[in-house]
Amino acid sequence: MNKQETLSAIEDARDAHVKQMQKIESLLEGKELEDPTPVAKTKCEFGQWLYGDVQHVKKVLGVQFYENLDVLHEAWHIEYSKIYDIFFAQSKKGFFNNFFANKKPEILQIEKAKLYYKELQKTTQDLLRALEVCERRITALGESKFH
């Protein structure tokens, strides 16, 4: 992967993450969501980039930058999983609950999800800032680092 491809991959990863946040916002606004963001950090588009070619990403970003992204990305997924559980984990509640439970979360649960979302926004900002730093770092690197 050359320098421009690496920059494009970071931009795509950032855009994918922004889209994930938009999907969560839509969910909190009461819209149906057919394809929720995966809970596992390696399954989302951002994670596929970050963990796809680990050696290359570590090489061009440096281990410290990579580990910072990993920590922030993992924190994002841990926080997101709380929202996911409210909206999508109802099938895990038990056999009879599936028959009698309302498919949509109760108002109190939605309010709790909105609070989780505020925390998720903070983590998102930290993650996006870290990506900006990575972009600046890669922009400053010589092309020889990518061969």
Q: pLDDT by residue (tens digit) across 90-113?
A: 655 555 555 544 567 889 999 999
Considering only CA atoms, which of 81, 143, 146 is closest in space to residue 116?
81
| Amino acid (1-letter code) at residue 24 | I
Confidence of residue 53 (pLDDT cuts 50, 70, 90): confident
Distinct helix (H) and strand (E) counts, the chain: 6, 0
Distance between CA atoms of residues 10 and 65, nearest Å: 13
Contact by Cβ (8 Å): 129, 65 = no
Q: How far is CA 13 from the centre of its chain?
A: 9
Q: What percent of the chain has pLDDT over 90?
A: 58
Query: How far apart are alpha carbons 13 and 113 in whole angstroms?
Result: 24
Q: In the numeric block, which tokens belong to residue 80?
A: 């997101």
> According to the model, what pLDDT value does residue 95 have?
53
